[in-house]
Amino acid sequence: MDAVDRQIVSLLRANGRASYAELARTVGLSAPSVHERVSKLEAGGVILGYHAAVDRAAVGEAVTALVGVFESDVEADEDLVESLRRMPEITDCFYVAGEEAFLLRVRVEDIAALERVVAAISRIRGVARTRTTVVLSSRWEDRHA
């Protein structure tokens, strides 16, 4: 990746719907050249996809929580991760250093739904306990998405 590729990636992170012509004007190349670069960035795994930013409350995800997962059985690690992956309320799963093995971002409709999700996580084989922090508000998210 050179400086132009980095600039294209930055522009697409800010506006994934930008046209090749718009990108070309900004980076000083032709639209076909930008198209070729974007295609190479996609094929090379630099650009993984495009998404729509949505109002979380409008799509039934008014409550966000961070759930720390403490493991009881490290040999069950892959089964544990697969069980977490099957839960659609978990939007992010980070393997972390520290007391917890995993830090999860959970998005749900309301506190009752959060309670159900945390209870379901606690029942997964390999989970010793959880620690949940409810997000009151977000100052920013996906800063560089």
**Higher confidence at residue 121 or residue 140?**
121
In this structure, are residues 112 and 119 in contact, taking their beta carbons and an 8 Å threshold? no
Tokens of 6: 């980095």
pLDDT single digits (tens) 31-85:
999 999 999 999 999 999 998 888 889 999 999 999 999 999 766 678 999 999 9
Fold of 57-134: Alpha-Beta Plaits (3.30.70)
Sort strands 63-71 and 90-95 into parallel, antiparallel or unpaired. Answer: unpaired
- 3-43: CATH topology is Arc Repressor Mutant, subunit A (1.10.10)
- From start to end of 13-101, where are the E strands? 63-71, 90-95
pTM, full prediction: 0.80
- For the segment 7-16, the average pLDDT, to the nearest whole number, is 93
Burial of 76 (0-12, 13-18, 19+ CB in 10 A): middle
Instruction: Say what the pLDDT of residue 54 is.
Output: 87
Q: Tell me the domain boundaries of the chain.
A: 3-43, 57-134
